[in-house]
Amino acid sequence: MDAAPFSPRILLTGGRSRLAGVVYRHLTGAGAQVTSLSRSEGEHHLGLENLFVNNLVDTADTILHLAWSTVPLSSERHVGLEWEQDLPLLIKVLQAVCASPNRARLHFVFFSSGGTVYGNARDGRPSRESDPCAPIGWYGHAKLAAERLIEEYGQRHGLAYTILRISNPYGFPVPPHKPQGIVPFLLHSARSGAPFSVWGDGTARKDFLHHTDFTAALEQVVRTRPAGTFNVSSGASHTVNEVIAGVEQAVGKKIRIQQSPANSWDVHDSLLDNAKLKAAIAWQPVVSLAEGIRLAADSGQ
Which residues, in sequence order, are bridge partners of residue 161?
108
pLDDT for res 44:
87
Whether residue 120 is contained in a domain is answered as: yes
Q: What percent of the chain has pLDDT over 90?
A: 88
Kindly tell me if the per-residue pLDDT of 2 is higher than 50.
no
Mean pLDDT for 198-219 is: 96
Which residues, in sequence order, are bridge partners of residue 166?
113, 232
Long-range CB pairs of 238-242, under 8 A, 24+ apart, other chains included:
238/205, 238/206, 238/207, 238/208, 238/289, 239/202, 239/203, 239/204, 239/205, 240/182, 240/198, 240/200, 240/202, 240/203, 240/204, 240/206, 241/202, 241/203, 242/289
Whether residue 248 is contained in a domain is answered as: no
Whether residue 73 is contained in a domain is answered as: yes
Mean pLDDT for 175-194 is: 83
Whether residue 180 is contained in a domain is answered as: no
Instruction: Read off the pLDDT band of 177 (50, 70, 90).
Output: low
Whether residue 2 is contained in a domain is answered as: no
The model's pLDDT over 187-196, given as tens digits with 9 standing for 90+, comes to 999 999 999 9
- Residues near 245 by beta carbon (within 8 Å), at least 6 away in sequence: none
Whether residue 87 is contained in a domain is answered as: yes
Structural domain of 156:
9-175+208-233+272-286
Whether residue 81 is contained in a domain is answered as: yes
The model's pLDDT over 271-282, given as tens digits with 9 standing for 90+, comes to 999 999 999 999
Whether residue 50 is contained in a domain is answered as: yes
For the chain, how many structural domains are there in total?
1
CATH code of the domain containing 282: 3.40.50.720
The model's pLDDT over 119-153, given as tens digits with 9 standing for 90+, comes to 999 888 999 999 999 999 999 999 999 999 999 99
